[in-house]
Amino acid sequence: MRTVVWNDLSAEEQSQVLQRPVQMSAQSLEDNVRAIGDAIKKEGDTALIRFTEQFDKTLLTDVVLPQSAFTEAEQNLSDEFKKAIQNAYNNIYKFHEAQKPSPISIETQKGVLCEVLTRPIEKVGLYIPGGTAPLFSTVLMLAIPAKIAGCKRIVLASPPTIANEIIYAAKLCDIDTIYTIGGAQAVFALGLGTEKVEKVDKIFGPGNSYVTEAKRQVSQMMNGAAIDMPAGPSEVLVIADDNANPDFVASDLLSQAEHGTDSQVILVTTSQAMADKVNVSLDYWLNQLSRKDTAIESLKHSTTIIVNSLAEAVKVSNLYAPEHLIIQTDDARSLLNDIQHAGSVFLGQYSAESMGDYASGTNHVLPTYGYAKTVSSLGLADFSKRMTVQEISKDGLKDLGPVVSLLAEKELLDAHKLAVDIRLKAIQGD
């Protein structure tokens, strides 16, 4: 990893150091994805089958996974794996169940009752990427909160051939409909509906730049579906002091670098010696990785930043707003109050980022590309919506009605004023 000294850089150079890798040409990507969406709207399942053959090299006879595949998947997995995934399931369930909101009911003044109620999103679609790694953990992260929230219909889409681990995780979460489709075409199918694919109200899940762009487009279409969050490639920022374990730091950096060539990792440290030790560890552990070539490409646009103090390290982290923030310092929790922007924070030397990815209980679907400044990590609230209720008594109208009547009059909204005044006169008539 290249190393820079933060205070030797100009403001412009500091900004450049924290830039994410450049993605594919935005206009080209937008046009290509729009063409896929247009085809799905016009041709439905016919286009899905054609795109699956074109992009996934698979000729489908049906876009819906047969029920027999659920039984076969379970039979082909070891008891050890099933026990491990059950452990992860339990922790994720426990953490998200604790997020259930309580109803709010308050009398803002006598006779004026205001409430907040929560209702589940009725139909949700979960997208699980394909590729070389079967992301069964993402199935748990999406399906468990959907289940707890009470979503009535939960379906899943993933490109063929779908790994047994993904199918089993879906079964564990009581999902019985899986579509064997992937990419931008799967997003449009979920968001718009086809002959076989049921339209959903909201789409969840990560993906490549095509999937991300398709989510953006479908969310802006009339009658399209909402989406969970904007997202880009994986990223991590590690804050380390003199006493951090360089092997721990290196392994955390590599855990994100191996995700993809467009992933980015950043080390912010108060110690040049620590930076040197981490580079030695990176060289050593890279050679142990099956995805070494991917990690090397990621490290080419990754950086070590030397700062004067931990306070300055926190400042750099807040400017970057990382998806994952790992703090390996003597008193990691003491920095937490000053952390303003991060998708998920890992405190202390034993809190490996991998723990949150799989089984600690927190959700690993997180905002990237700086969206952590305004977007939260995925949680139970994302699978529901709030609605407010008000109930005004006769006494409440007597007291508050004249106030509302005057305010409506000042905004020149005569019908708003009338709706109150006519009730006030009716009360007086009583």
Is 349 among the annotated ligand-binding positions?
A: no
Is 109 among the annotated ligand-binding positions?
A: no
Q: Which of 235, 323, 341, 364 is catalytic?
A: 323
Strands 303-306 and 264-269: parallel
Return the ∠ at Cα 203 (arms to 201 and 206), rounded to 5°: 175
Strands 226-227 and 202-204: parallel
List the structure tokens of 166.
């993904």
| Residue 324 annotated as catalytic | yes
Note whether 160 and 128 are within 8 A (CB): no
Is 288 among the annotated ligand-binding positions?
A: no
Contacts of 210 (CB under 8 A, 6+ apart): 29, 32, 33, 36, 183, 184
Residues linked to residue 118 through DSSP beta bridges, in sequence order: 386
What angle, 0 to 180 degrees and rounded to 10, lies between the N-to-C axes of helices 272-286 and 292-299?
Answer: 150
Is 96 among the annotated ligand-binding positions?
A: no
| Residue 391 annotated as catalytic | no
Is 301 among the annotated ligand-binding positions?
A: no
Q: Which of 165, 235, 258, 324 is catalytic?
A: 324
Is 185 among the annotated ligand-binding positions?
A: yes
Provide the H-helix boundaries in 7-44. Answer: 11-17, 26-43
CA distance 420 to 39: 51
List the structure tokens of 47.
């286009």
Note whether 305 and 278 are within 8 A (CB): no
Is 416 among the annotated ligand-binding positions?
A: yes
Q: Dihedrals φ, ψ of 66, to 5°? A: -65, 150
Is 390 among the annotated ligand-binding positions?
A: no
CA distances from 54 to 28, 31, 46, 200, 291 (A): 19, 18, 12, 25, 26
Residues linked to residue 362 through DSSP beta bridges, in sequence order: none
Is 358 among the annotated ligand-binding positions?
A: no
Please choose, from the candidates 47, 12, 90, 379, the residue with its C-alpha nearest in 3D space to the C-alpha of residue 195.
47
Please choose, from the candidates 161, 155, 130, the residue with its C-alpha nearest in 3D space to the C-alpha of residue 143.
155
CA distance 207 to 251: 24
Residue numbers in the known binding site for substrate are 234, 256, 259, 324, 357, 411, 416
Residue numbers in the known binding site for Zn(2+) are 256, 259, 357, 416
Residue numbers in the known binding site for NAD(+) are 127, 185, 208
* Catalytic residue ranges: 323-324
Residue numbers in the known binding site are 127, 185, 208, 234, 256, 259, 324, 357, 411, 416
